Amino acid sequence: MMSRVAAVCLRRGHHFSKTPSLSIRLLAGLGVEGDGHMGALVKHRYDRRHDPTRPNLRQVHLIPCELFDELRAKGFTIQPGDLGENVTTSGIDLAALPTGTRLHLGTHAVIELTGLREPCVLMDRFQQGLKAATQDRDADGNVICKAGVMAVVVADGEVAAGDAIEVELPAGARQPLAPV
């Protein structure tokens, strides 16, 4: 099965959910043009309060649509953009990719994975029980974050639903994604 972009979303300002769009424009080093999380420096409210000079490792948020199917089976009502993602993917296990993986989205856009999105209390404010539903435990009892992955933009480009996704794994030793 070919990996594809299932939906794209953005929203000005800081809001939990984002609005589906026909396309988004990714800007190298900044993120999604017009989105509230766009910028070279950290935009996440909690992180910005602690150190506003840190680089923004959360320029683009991606979630696999397969997570939505899993959540719907548990009784949640979830649509693209509801959990704040910019790109909803299909046919790719995002959380299994190592840090530094580059995803080529469409014709020109390239992003680099920086880490996992850690489920937060805002998820329960959106729908009660959602935070716990986006977490799991491995055989050793370690928490598995399933709320998507974060990335930075490496190359500009327009991205739309239906665009192909090409995976470019990093060279050398591979590190699993960790929360950012």
Residue 67 confidence class, pLDDT cut points 50, 70, 90: very high
Q: What percent of the chain has pLDDT over 70?
A: 99
Stated pTM of the model? 0.96
- β 31-32/135-137 pair status: unpaired
Beta bridge mates, 153: 111
Q: Residue holding tokens 């993917």?
A: 89
| Length reported for the chain | 180
Q: Identify the helix (H) or strand (E) that includes residue 145.
A: strand 143-145
> What is the C-alpha to C-alpha distance for residues 45 and 149, in angstroms, rounded to an integer?
18
Q: 4-168, which class in CATH? A: mainly beta
Task: Parse the chain into domains and list their residue ranges.
Answer: 4-168
- Summarize pLDDT for 68-105 with one digit per residue, the tens: 999 999 999 999 999 999 999 999 999 999 999 999 99
Residue 29 has pLDDT above 80, yes or no: yes
- Summarize pLDDT for 36-65 with one digit per residue, the tens: 999 999 988 778 888 999 999 999 999 999
> What is the C-alpha to C-alpha distance for residues 82 and 46, in angstroms, rounded to an integer?
20
